[in-house]
Structure 1
Amino acid sequence: KDEWLVILFSIPMIMAFIPGLEGVVARGFEQLDMMPDWYQYSLGVIIAASFGIRSASRFFKR
């Protein structure tokens, strides 16, 4: 699951360096910026929880 999120978040960065796709990336981030704050915060919490829970479980297994 964490690897999937890393790949997902890497896609826009990679696309930004491909000629012709940088506009798609820019427009995508413009659309994300127009989403309500609560939605953006919710996504952030979900992602942080995904990485945090996995990291914490590794720590406590020691």
Structure 2
Amino acid sequence: MEISTKFAIGDKVWKIHDSKAVCFEIGCILYDGAVYYGETRYDVTISTQCFATKEELIKYITSE
């Protein structure tokens, strides 16, 4: 089984955390039926909530 990811370790991505847009560097990638990215394995975000740029994140938030 091959698992492909949108981002790689070391990439910087944007997410919403505590109602703010924040950028973080991916330090780990976990798979549990879905792909999760995180700085550490204790603070991960599902891949659908990670964006390559702040502009992509804003577009997602403002879409209906």
What is the TM-score with the length of structure 1 in the denominator? 0.24
More helix by share: 1
- Of Structure 1 and Structure 2, the greater strand share is in 2
Whose radius of gyration is greater, 1 or 2?
1
Q: Structure 2 length normalisation: TM-score?
A: 0.24
Q: Which has the higher contact order (CA 8 A, sep 6+)?
A: 1
